[in-house]
Structure 1
Amino acid sequence: MLDDFFVRALLAGIGLALTTGPLGCLVVWRRMAYFGDTMAHSALLGVALSLFFEINLLLSVFGVAVAVSLLLLFLQRRQGLSADSLLGILSHSTLAIGLVLVAFMSWVRIDLIAFLFGDILAVTTTDILLIWLGGAFVVGCLVLLWRPLVASTVSHDLAEAEGLNPGRARLFFMLLMALVIAIAMKIVGILLITALLIIPAATARRFSASPERMAVLASLLGALAVVGGLFGSLQADTPSGPSIVVAALALFIASLLPSLGKGLAQTAKPDGERR
């Protein structure tokens, strides 16, 4: 018989995985993994501002993530720096400012490990409700924006020519990313959010013939990683958040084995037998 806190962790993790699946696919297609990392790092600044001004944690993290997204768009249009340079500056700057602010607040006791790596076993019923309702909102928005997002991923100019307004779709995509990171922070932590976004999507890519199939499969693989990671954590007494990411990594490695085996077999053949 599973304890109540473990069941709550399963429900929360699966709800988050179903949301990050299609969102992670867009991150992988658009090669925006570093952007997801930047958004995640900015969450610590949101935590620090929440404690300093005594405001709601979720709203503070979401607000900072949105501000970073808008600042990135502004700098990309006005400055000569490349996107990866701007992301590097924003990522490390927001993380460092957050840590400095936390250090200044000597009157506040804060468990940085819990924020960095999450504590899915501590989720409440209210957290589960927030995850599922927020996830349903995000997935619903992605359904509405799916065509312009996928089209602009293939060709920004073609999407504009078809009147799909890819710039607006990208802005909404960034806002959805900010919302998911604010929700996910408590579960898998600031440093592991990007891994949960990218690894299941990268695994699903190997078995998908269409964008829609990849999105669904990424959600299912993410949910499987959550279940496997939590049960593995229970058996081995390891941290739950990192265990979920390790389970996702194991699925990714397993997806590589057939092609690796085929490649080794071809390498082992004499040159004359390779066709």
Structure 2
Amino acid sequence: MIFLDDFIIRAALAGIGVAFAAAPLGCFVVWRRMAYFGDATAHASILGVALALTFDVSIFSGVLVTALLMASTISTLSGRGYAMDTLLGVMAHSALALGLVAVSFLQGVRVDLMAYLFGDILAVSRGDLAVIWSGAAMVLGLMWWRWSSLLIATLNPELAQASGVNPRREQLVLTLALALVVAVAIKVVGVLLIAAMLLIPAATARAFSSTPERMAVLAICIGCASVVGGIYVSFGADTPTGPTIVSTGTALFAAASILALIGRSLRRRG
């Protein structure tokens, strides 16, 4: 397809694919207050990059396996007497530091750390697009399949248990989905900004949502708007594209927060 020869089109499609994958999952991250969990999983992906380059396998595979192992380790240890915030802090920063140290030992391999830390969306190829959209389709399919079970396990674990839904199993489903999102998003926004793509669209949509499903759909729309707007602003202002996408999402969050505050004020007066 000729239109895919335009790197701007490929960048926009890649960002939209990440938004479709990250936004609905981000809703569960917000509801479960798992923001740091996403950070720890994302930071582990740098170690995955180093391992992938060491063993000469695809970056996607290395990042996916490492992110999945990190998320599974955190899920396992969290129920065994470890304080969650402390555990996440230690794991997140240790994984990032170990990854950076591991990359420094690679001989004869040129690694653009800035691209992995902050993304390089303008360098997305057709092959990258296929990987991103395949991963996004898997995440969306997983969310569609497990939506009701995930929702009840999030809202009330005791009720979920009584209804025959295993909360630990649903936690593992979220873990798998989160690892997939990290693996597909690293090329677009980088390790340090993946958590922002998960959280900001979902947090923005929350103020205007009366149902979980509405929040998920709005989060996808806001994520796509952040991508398209961020790419446009990046070209106009000659700024880094990945951080500009996140900054655009932040501006939308600020605007939504102000509108919600005004709306509450008017309702109280009325």
Alignment TM class, shorter chain as reference: over 0.9
Q: Residue deviations 1:124-159, cap 9 Å, x none?
A: 111112222221111011111111111111111110
Q: Which residue of 2 aligns with 1:269?
A: none
Determine the structure 2 residue equivalent to 1:185: 186
Q: Which residue in 1 is equivalent to 2:78? A: 76
Q: Distance in 1 between matches of 2:185 and 2:20?
A: 12
TM-score (norm 1): 0.92
SS of equivalent residue, structure 1 residue 191: helix
Deviations 1:7-28 (A, max 9, x none): 1111111111111110110100
CA RMSD across the alignment: 2.0
Distance of 2:58 and 2:211 partners within structure 1: 40
* Structure 2 CA distance for aligned equivalents of residues 265 and 12 of structure 1: 40
CA distance in 1, matches of 2:69, 2:258: 42
Give the match for residue 66 of structure 2.
Answer: 64
Equivalent pair of 2:119/2:188 in contact (CA under 8 Å): yes
- Paired residue for 1:25, among 27, 38, 57? 27
- Find the residue that maps to 1:164 and give its secondary structure: coil
Deviation at 1:72, TM superposition (A): 1.4
Pairing of 1:31-50 with structure 2 (within 5 A): 31-50=33-52
Partner of 1:9: 11
| Residue 152 (structure 2) aligns with | 151
Mapped to 2, the partners of 1:3 and 1:224 lie a distance apart of 22
SS in 1 for 2:186: helix
Q: Could you tell me how far apart the structure 1 residues matched to 2:56 and 2:17 are?
A: 28
Helix, strand or coil at the partner of 1:215: helix
CA displacement, residues 168-211 of structure 1 (integer Å, 9 cap, x when unaligned): 11101101110110110011100000001100000000000000
- Tell me, in whole angstroms, the C-alpha distance in 2 between the residues paired with 1:263 and 1:165: 38
Please give the alpha-carbon distance, in whole angstroms, between the structure 1 residues aligned to 2:4 and 2:63: 32
Q: Give the Cα–Cα distance (whole angstroms) in 1 for the partners of residues 147 and 172 of structure 2.
A: 13
Question: Which residue is equivalent to 1:140?
Answer: 141
How many residues are matched?
268
Report the Cα offset of residue 3 of structure 1. 7.5
Listed as ranges, the gaps of 5+ residues in structure 2 are none
Instruction: Give unmatched runs, 5+ long, in structure 1.
Output: 267-272
- The 1:274/1:175 distance shift into structure 2, 3 A limit, reads closer
Shift in Å, 1:259: 3.9
Would the alpha carbon gap of residues 18 and 250 (structure 1) be closer, same or farther in structure 2, given more than 3 Å must change? same
Listed as ranges, the matches of 1:218-229 within 5 Å are 218-229=219-230
Please say which structure displays the higher CA radius of gyration: 1
Corresponding residue of 2:204: 203
Aligned mates of 2:137, 2:260 — CA distance in 1: 35
User: 1:54 matched to which residue of 2?
Assistant: 56
Native 8 Å contact 2:4 2:126 kept in 1: no
Q: Identity percentage over the alignment?
A: 51
What letter corresponds to residue 39 of structure 1 in structure 2?
T
Q: For the residues of structure 1 that align with 2:73 and 2:269, how far apart are their CA atoms?
A: 53
